[in-house]
Amino acid sequence: MKKVFILLSILMLSLCACKNEGNIGPLFGTWALTDITVNGEKPADFIKGQTTWSFQNNIVRIVFDLGPSEYDDRVGSWEKTASEGHKYLEFNFTHSQDGVEPGTGPYLAPEWLGWPTNRIIRLEYVKDSSREMVLTWMSDGGDSFTYTLKKTW
């Protein structure tokens, strides 16, 4: 009986945990937005943890929690890049599908983060660890945004 249990355990592990095509390292999972500043000031309507960013494979889902069973949900793609010693996290909110124009509907950039619609948003890493990240972004109008996120799982 013990041999059957061990054999079944090995079989189950080999079937479900042998390879994860969506493995993206420490970024995988859900991150809560714990702080945001615009030109050094915290927006008056900011609520810690009300926005989450979830990463899997090359897809990002950004959710704004509006209360029980209500939320604003946006989907885009992401890519880590580097240039001249700086690391970046780029979000693409220009996607489309049948009946949905590019960068609209669920592919609309989250405006509550200050991001413009239908384009790629390039954030620069200030801090990048497996539990916390701090990113900055400069708007076209010259406003400096800083986003602090902590991993929830």
CA angle in degrees (0–180, nearest 5) for 51-146-150? 45
Q: Which of 40-44, 60-64, 102-106 has the lowest mean pLDDT?
A: 102-106
Q: Model-level pTM? A: 0.81
Express each pLDDT in 95-151 by its tens digit.
998 888 888 889 999 999 999 998 999 999 999 899 999 999 999 999 999 999 999
Give me the chain's average pLDDT, please: 85
Residue 17: band (very low, low, confident or very high) from pLDDT cuts 50, 70, 90: very low
Do the Cβ atoms of 74 and 61 come closer than 8 Å?
A: yes
pLDDT of residue 7: 37
Query: Could you give phi then psi for residue 68, rounded to 5 degrees?
Result: -55, 120
Q: Which domains does the chain have, with CATH numbers?
A: 23-151 (2.40.128.280)
